[in-house]
A and B are shown apart, each in its own frame.
Chain A
Amino acid sequence: NAGVTQTPKFQVLKTGQSMTLQCAQDMNHNSMYWYRQDPGMGLRLIYYSASEGTTDKGEVPNGYNVSRLNKREFSLRLESAAPSQTSVYFCASSPQVPGNEKLFFGSGTQLSVL
């Protein structure tokens, strides 16, 4: 059982380049999330998807777009990368049991924007 799988694990971009972070879960979860983790700031929610076909902005959505391709996959796209987007990105999913938001996390993508 793979759980939540993220690719790539590491990426270096130049300012202005674009890329897509991929995430897939095999637990049949309804909800999926993208967080970024920065030193001293914990995890901040970028976007989330409560169900297939729906997406909503989180705390820090600027500079990102997402696609909930199907129930399994939720991708995060940086259209024009900026140094401020250097971070570790985590995808997560949850079964969306109301009031009990147990998140299952991927192992993260370390992104550096030069």
Chain B
Amino acid sequence: GEDVEQSLFLSVREGDSSVINCTYTDSSSTYLYWYKQEPGAGLQLLTYIFSNMDMKQDQRLTVLLNKKDKHLSLRIADTQTGDSAIYFCAESIGDTDKLIFGTGTRLQVFP
């Protein structure tokens, strides 16, 4: 079945880069997503990448996709305390409109 895996925690110093990794299983996923969840709130779509792309950059965010290894990463440049949150990767299931979410990575940024 589908499975999306992430490491549970990441701690970085303010100003450094953060890299959050994700592995997925459904090779037919059309899009892969990164969602951000701040404390006490729902998830918000951060960015996404089309499956035929290798990289997508959006201001401080860089998404890298290695389709061969089914590996997705999110790099946050110049990490700020406001970036502290839980980050979820998600893959779409084939041609359905359902998403499978990873376990989430809690990013903690310290001064």
Chain A residue with minimal CB distance to B102?
A42
Complex contact B45–A107 (CB within 8 A): no
B14–chain A nearest beta-carbon distance, Å: 26
**Neighbouring A residues of B104 by C-beta, 8 Å:** 42
B26–chain A nearest beta-carbon distance, Å: 13
Complex contact A45–B103 (CB within 8 A): no
Among B31, B88, B92, B101, the one with the most A-chain Cβ atoms within 10 Å of its Cβ is: B101
Residues of B in contact (CB 8 Å), total 25
The contact of A107 among B35, B42, B97, by CB within 8 Å, is B42
Complex contact B97–A101 (CB within 8 A): yes
Is A58's CB within 8 Å of the partner chain B? yes
Q: How large is the interface on A (under 10, 10 to 19, 20 to 34, 35 or more residues)?
A: 20 to 34
**Neighbouring B residues of A98 by C-beta, 8 Å:** 95, 97
Given contacts A40-B103, A100-B30, A101-B92, contact A45 B98 (CB under 8 A): yes
C-alpha spacing A50/B31, complex, angstroms = 18
The contact of B8 among A40, A99, A100, A105, by CB within 8 Å, is A40
**Neighbouring B residues of A94 by C-beta, 8 Å:** 97
Is A102's CB within 8 Å of the partner chain B? yes
**Neighbouring A residues of B40 by C-beta, 8 Å:** 107-108
Is A96's CB within 8 Å of the partner chain B? yes
Query: 0/1 per residue, A14-51, Cβ < 8 Å to B?
Result: 00000000000000000101010000111111001010
Is A76's CB within 8 Å of the partner chain B? no
Complex contact A103–B92 (CB within 8 A): no
Chain B residue with minimal CB distance to A99?
B30
